[in-house]
Amino acid sequence: MTLHPIGTVDAVRGAVVDVVFAQADLPAINTALVVEWDRSTPLILEVHSHLDLTTLRAVAFQSTAGLARGVTVRATGGPVTVPVGDAVLGRLLDVVGDPQDNGEPLPNDTPRRSIHAQPPALNAQTRTTEVFETGIKVIDLLTPMAQGGKAAMFGGAGVGKTVLVMELIRTMVEKYDGISVFAGVGERSREGHELLTEMQSSGVLERTVLVYGQMNEPPGARWRAPLTALTISEYFRDQKHQNVLLLMDNVFRFVQAGAEVSSLLGRLPSRVGYQPTLATEVAGLQERIASVAGSAVTAIQAVYVPADDFTDPAVTTISGHMDCVIVLSRAQAAEGFYPAIDPLASSSMLLDPLVVGEDHYRTAEAVRQALARFRELTDIISLLGVEELGAADRLIVKRARRLQRFLTQPFMVTEAFTGTPGATVPLADTLAGCRAILAGEADDWAESSLYMVGTIADARAKEANAADKTPDKTPEEAAA
């Protein structure tokens, strides 16, 4: 039996603990340590750096409130491991893999894996150009996602990132033949409870694993929660050869937790106060999200943009790893266009005629051109009015306004708040609707007929219903 070294607590600085191993060699970096204190909740530390020959500095995964100097700390001899496999399906776990859903304990024979792993070798990774259809019109049309790719939704506070992620979970997990892993990083407890309840009611929880490092937890837990979710995803990818849908909300909180840990460790800050290891930490997370032959990991990530500043170092670092960048705009949200996706700022590497086909590409480009021209004319319209535009520009403005409204969509997860039934729209119907608007079919329709509908057929029925309810005009009204 291997005897693991025993040390004692020397100093506590919030979530960072210094431990002295006077009689033994220091445990290696990333080794897990267990604090043997008198509390009912375990306290697990992870070795981060060696300060001298006998002292190391570690990061705590649970609250250190009440921890005193001199308390015994035992090294485990290996890194933090978390349970993986079929036993964790349908469960809500914390950063070290303990169930937090008031359910039964996990079986003793549940396999465990280290949260630290290398990404697959470059020659073992596969790339796919298969489009991952979401049923959300503006995404499928302008920013198609890749099966086995990485997509990120960037937006400031209150523009709808979490709602969009929850809608993607709802629409995709039901038709998606694979495993879903959700990582809630630094988000509110309320949102986690809502997501758990939503999944239980929709019957998709048995194929989903929820991993949470919540806002009220120490930065160490928020910092490592994405690695726990990744470890579970990698097991299903490599051992079970199953496709995995990995959802993260919110990756910025992972960076923020790293910055908190960095300052507690005594490092000098880098640009805008972020940790000097920002690029390395983000790359270490994102490069592990990879697909191998026979099984793909498709990642959809929400990214908070502080103060709506898209030049923020964290935002630019994360966006560099993405295949698909979806930008949520506060201006779109202010006008009531939900999902509040900016069609001109968002982009996807898959929007290519060789991938999506010539028809889809031409339709998407025509929609973008119309919306871009409308945006160019916005200042002129606000100053002089649309009547001062030429006939061609007036026609573009009319169709662009209708396209804006057609690309809105009612969500299933918001039915309880809006009273409008949610809609999932196949890509073929999205393309058909956009082509009809660009061809002028909806020129005489009320703009409201295209707002918050699913397909163009729904809009046509809404327009016909509105026309039936409109009273016939008198000759004098018609002449006016």
Active site residue ranges? 161, 187-188
Residue position matching structure tokens 């849908």: 245
Three-state DSSP class for 351?
coil
The C-alpha atoms of residue 85 and residue 244 are separated, in whole angstroms, by 13
All residues at 6 or more sequence positions from 234 whose CB lies less than 8 Å from its CB, including other chains: 113, 117, 288, 297
Please, are residues 257 and 223 in contact by the beta-carbon 8 Å criterion? Answer: yes
The C-alpha atoms of residue 181 and residue 147 are separated, in whole angstroms, by 15
Please, are residues 246 and 194 in contact by the beta-carbon 8 Å criterion? Answer: no
All residues at 6 or more sequence positions from 84 whose CB lies less than 8 Å from its CB, including other chains: 110, 111, 112, 113, 231, 232, 235, 236
Residue 18, H or E segment: strand 16-20
**In 153-267, alpha helices (H):** 161-175, 189-202, 219-238, 251-264
The C-alpha atoms of residue 257 and residue 260 are separated, in whole angstroms, by 5
The C-alpha atoms of residue 166 and residue 161 are separated, in whole angstroms, by 9
Q: Are strands 6-13 and 347-348 parallel, antiparallel or unpaired?
A: unpaired
Nearest CA-CA partner of 9 in 79, 51, 56: 56
Q: Which pair of structure tokens corresponds to residue 218?
A: 């120490």
Nearest CA-CA partner of 193 in 88, 299, 92: 92
Per-residue DSSP letter, 114: E
**Apex 183 CA angle, 179 and 184, nearest 5:** 140
The C-alpha atoms of residue 337 and residue 326 are separated, in whole angstroms, by 15
Q: Which pair of structure tokens corresponds to residue 139?
A: 């995404």
The C-alpha atoms of residue 143 and residue 361 are separated, in whole angstroms, by 11
Please, are residues 243 and 124 in contact by the beta-carbon 8 Å criterion? Answer: no
The C-alpha atoms of residue 443 and residue 447 are separated, in whole angstroms, by 9
